[in-house]
A = this chain, B = another copy of it.
Amino acid sequence: MKSDNKIEELMEGLFNKDKRALSRIITMVESDKPEYYSILKEIYGHTGKAYRIGITGPPGAGKSTLVNILAKQIKDRGNEVGIVAVDPTSPFTGGALLGDRIRMTGLLKDPHIFMRSMASRGSTGGIARTTTHVADVMDAYGFDVIIIETVGVGQLELDVAGAVDTTVVVLVPEAGSSIQAMKAGLIEIADIFAINKADREGAETLKFELQDALSLMPAIKNKGWDLPVKLTVALDGTGIKELVDTIYTHKTHLEDTDHLNTSRMNQKKVNIIEIMKHRIENQLWLNPELEPTLKRLSNLSMEGKIDPFTAANTFLKSAKVLNVNIDASFLHK
């Protein structure tokens, strides 16, 4: 009861734009504990107003600096901006590697920009889910624009791309040929390319190569959006105004073509699926009560005494004791 009152108080704070309440609610939501799901249930009706921008790209592309200056420019156009920065954590060192973050602390003094750094704890599985939930809290608070920054070109980035309205992929001139960019799966998730550190050699070449490659892809054209390639130098601000303009143009494009609705319905779908995945995992292979069964089956499998399909079948059957009943007969099909 006491705890419920506390949450209620914090929620009131959130809707009254109290940054301390915002921070504490984010911490609760980020902890991903079931006792805080009530928060997410309550804020739900208050989301959907913020425009969500994803910034992703390989390590060393200057994303943090770019996010910093983007946030300032978007603020200067009359918006409140929330930032979620996902930093992969080393399970060995135990903490997030926040070296890059230090230079962003300047933002913390700007009342219209709020930055939250999240550690991914080495697992990307749940991060897209909690990132979305943290963005939902920021949305309910009333930020006009939310920027989500992730590092890399992996599953997390694909997932985050499915959770935002506009995805900006940041490359550097050294990224090499456009083939490499395609191999990394970047073209699939990008709405806009930014070649950052464009004062270095190779920026124009990469731009032309990318545009060339893109012109050969009819499916991209069918999205009704010619994927723009922008040159930026985040450190001195070159090209940032144009990049922000392009983000706004993409926003207008989504709104005009009803793509925004489709995209947002998909964002919700992804979130619902992520919640289901998480719950099923916790009831099955992450369930401590079933751990000995899984270990025994893995051992039998290693010894060649049971094939992995039969092992999966056996495990799902044994899970019934916990009121989990998945039809395992398909394994025999």
Contacts and interface: CB of A to CB of B under 8 A. Distances in A.
A326 interface: yes
A37 interface: yes
A323 interface: yes
A325 B320 CA distance: 10
B187 A92 contact: yes
Contact of A187 (B90, B282, B298, B322): B90
A78 interface: no
A324 B322 contact: no
How many copies of this protein are present in the complex?
2
B220 A330 contact: no
A268 to B, nearest CB: 4
A249 interface: no
A161 B155 CA distance: 15
B122 A307 contact: no
Interface string A291-333: 0001101110110101111111001100000111111101101
Nearest to A93: B217
A154 B153 contact: yes
Contacts of A298: 265-266, 268-269, 272
Which of A180, A269, A283 is most buried by chain B, counting CB atoms within 10 A of its CB? A269
Given A301-B272, A308-B40, A308-B268, A154 B154 contact: yes
A323 B327 contact: yes
Contact of A283 (B282, B310, B330): B330
A264 interface: yes
Contact of A40 (B37, B183, B307): B307
B304 A45 contact: yes
Contact of A151 (B184, B188, B311, B330): B184
Interface stretch (A67-75, A103-111, A273-281): A273-281
B330 A272 contact: no
A158 interface: yes
23 contacts: A34-B330, A37-B309, A37-B331, A41-B309, A44-B304, A44-B308, A59-B180, A60-B180, A91-B188, A92-B220, A152-B154, A153-B154, A155-B156, A268-B308, A272-B315, A275-B308, A275-B309, A276-B284, A276-B285, A276-B312, A279-B330, A280-B326, A283-B326
Query: Which 6 A-B pairs have CB atoms at the shortest separation, nearest pair first?
Result: A154-B154, A155-B155, A269-B298, A325-B325, A268-B301, A44-B307
Given A272-B308, A279-B328, A324-B326, 15 more contacts: A40-B307, A42-B307, A44-B307, A59-B153, A59-B176, A93-B182, A100-B183, A124-B155, A154-B155, A155-B155, A266-B298, A272-B301, A275-B308, A279-B316, A323-B327
